């Protein structure tokens, strides 16, 4: 395979030039932007405005290939620790283990010869969708009108138009996120019953897809078994989620699973020091949060931040990355 040839477009050259000039003025070592995707959609979806569809994902990958130095997560973490990062250093990650990483993202990553990491929740490999997607698909199919879940302690929602439906999905997801697992299951079963049953496609990777990704320059990382909020579990259950996922994924790929991403990823709310210690003791090399901005050599290796620029135009997307790299 021939190497991807970087664009000579003035915009790409300007990003490279500006990134290198800014990197020279940095004190305290270069920084690393770890980009954090979830799904890639085939087409825009009014209920999932934060998720890129294929055309958006493609310009973002081209922009990274042309303007930045995209490293594998393993190389990036190693160079970060040794203070040897190149300027404009970026790594690409995907959370949860969606099938679209295999079906839609992988061909684009290959086109631009970009390495990536996908953090997989191992409990969905053979069956089932994540609870947040079950809420979204149920609300999508619900008839127009009022959705009254007050008898389930989950409030009332208006579904008169797409915007209200999108807000309802967001609010219901936030409500369900911090319910105990049993309460959440009851609420989602009720939603699916009112939506006329379960009728969503399988969204998550299969074991064969995980193996195909692992053979294609995509590292497999762990993201717990069932994607719980770790702080909502007792310590034994949390440890089991962190340890078992590693073992499950190693059985699938035959490779050591080196990296872990905390579900939801906000320290203090979604995980705390206990889970940092558990990840270390489970034998991971590094762990990743969803704190905003770039990682620096001063970051704890088990608390490396990740984020996705939310800008919908390439210039602002580049500027935000450069700003994080410099901040
Ligand atoms: Zn996740």
Q: Which of these, 259, 316, 326, lies nearest to 294 by C-alpha position?
A: 326
> CA-to-CA distance for 316 and 308, rounded, in angstroms?
12
Give residue 209's pLDDT: 97
Is the pLDDT assigned to residue 151 strictly greater than 90?
Answer: no
223 Cα–ligand 1 center, Å: 7
The more confidently predicted of residues 161 and 271 is: 271
pLDDT mean across residues, the chain: 91
26 confidence band (pLDDT: 50, 70, 90): low
112 Cα–ligand 1 center, Å: 25
37 Cα–ligand 1 center, Å: 10
7 Cα–ligand 1 center, Å: 33
225 confidence band (pLDDT: 50, 70, 90): very high
Strand, helix or coil for residue 288: strand
> CA-to-CA distance for 43 and 177, rounded, in angstroms?
26
254 Cα–ligand 1 center, Å: 23
Residues measured by CB to lie within 5 Å of ligand 1, the ion: 95-96, 263
Is the pLDDT assigned to residue 1 strictly greater than 60?
Answer: no
Q: Tokens for 255? A: 């490779």
**Choice among 66-75, 79-88, 174-183 with the minimum mean pLDDT:** 174-183
Burial class (CB in 10 A: 0-12, 13-18, 19+), 21: exposed
4 Cα–ligand 1 center, Å: 31
User: What is the pLDDT averaged over residues 13-19?
Assistant: 82
Contact indicator for 185, 152 with CB cutoff of 8 Å: no
120 Cα–ligand 1 center, Å: 8
User: What is the pLDDT averaged over residues 228-251?
Assistant: 96
Helix or strand holding residue 36 (H, E): strand 32-37
Q: Tokens for 182? A: 């049993």
> CA-to-CA distance for 186 and 205, rounded, in angstroms?
25
Each residue of 33-68: pLDDT tens digit? Answer: 999 999 999 999 989 888 999 999 999 999 999 999
Give residue 197's pLDDT: 80
> CA-to-CA distance for 249 and 122, rounded, in angstroms?
7
> CA-to-CA distance for 105 and 116, rounded, in angstroms?
10
> CA-to-CA distance for 319 and 327, rounded, in angstroms?
12
3 Cα–ligand 1 center, Å: 32
Each residue of 112-137: pLDDT tens digit? Answer: 999 999 999 999 997 889 999 999 99
Each residue of 178-212: pLDDT tens digit? Answer: 788 888 889 999 999 988 887 778 999 999 999 99
Residue 19 makes CB contacts below 8 A (sequence gap 6+) with: 67, 68, 87, 88, 322, 325
The more confidently predicted of residues 23 and 259 is: 259
| Helices and strands, counts by H and E, the chain | 12, 9
12 Cα–ligand 1 center, Å: 32
Residue identified by tokens 């825009």 is 44
Strand, helix or coil for residue 135: helix
10 Cα–ligand 1 center, Å: 37
Q: Which of these, 123, 122, 112, lies nearest to 90 by C-alpha position?
A: 112
The phi, psi pair for 199, rounded to 5°, reads: -145, 50
Q: Tokens for 206? A: 């299969």
13 Cα–ligand 1 center, Å: 35
Strand, helix or coil for residue 146: strand
Give residue 156's pLDDT: 85
181 Cα–ligand 1 center, Å: 16
9 Cα–ligand 1 center, Å: 36
2 Cα–ligand 1 center, Å: 34
In the beta sheet, which residues pair with residue 98? Answer: 204
Give residue 2's pLDDT: 67
321 Cα–ligand 1 center, Å: 22
> Is the dihedral angle over the CA atoms 77, 83, 86, 90 positive or is it negative?
positive
Give residue 231's pLDDT: 94
DSSP code per residue over 185-235:
HHHHHHHHHHTTS------BPPHHHHHHHHTTTEEEEE--SS---GGGS-H
């Amino acid at each position: 395979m021939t190497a991807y040839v970087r664009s000579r477009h003035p915009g790409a050259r300007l990003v490279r030039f500006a990134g290198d000039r800014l990197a020279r003025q940095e004190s305290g070592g270069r920084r690393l932007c770890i980009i954090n995707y979830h799904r890639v959609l085939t087409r825009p979806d009014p209920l999932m405005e934060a998720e890129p569809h294929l055309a958006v994902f493609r310009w973002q990958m081209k922009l990274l290939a042309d303007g930045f130095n995209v490293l594998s997560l393993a190389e990036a973490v190693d160079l970060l620790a040794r203070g040897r990062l190149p300027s404009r250093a970026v790594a690409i990650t995907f959370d949860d283990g969606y099938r679209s990483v295999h079906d839609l993202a992988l061909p684009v990553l290959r086109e631009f010869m970009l390495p990536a990491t996908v953090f997989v929740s191992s409990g969905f490999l053979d069956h089932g969708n994540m609870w947040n997607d079950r809420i979204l698909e149920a609300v999508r199919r619900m008839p127009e009108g009022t959705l009254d879940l007050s008898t389930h302690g989950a409030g009332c929602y208006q579904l008169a138009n797409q915007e209200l439906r999108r807000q309802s999905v967001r609010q219901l997801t936030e409500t369900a996120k911090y319910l105990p697992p049993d309460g959440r299951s009851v609420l989602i079963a009720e939603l699916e019953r009112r939506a006329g049953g379960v009728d969503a496609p399988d969204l998550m990777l299969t074991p064969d897809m995980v193996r195909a990704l692992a053979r294609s320059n995509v590292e497999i990382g762990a993201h717990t078994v069932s994607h719980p909020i770790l702080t909502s579990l007792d310590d034994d259950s949390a440890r089991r989620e962190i340890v078992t996922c590693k073992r499950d994924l190693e059985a699938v790929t035959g490779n050591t699973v080196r990296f872990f991403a905390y579900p939801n990823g906000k320290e203090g709310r979604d995980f705390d020091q206990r889970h940092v210690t558990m990840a270390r003791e489970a034998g991971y090399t590094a762990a990743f949060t969803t704190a905003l901005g770039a990682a620096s050599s001063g970051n704890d290796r088990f608390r490396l931040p990740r984020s996705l620029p939310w800008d919908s135009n390439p210039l602002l997307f580049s500027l935000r990355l450069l700003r994080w790299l410099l901040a």
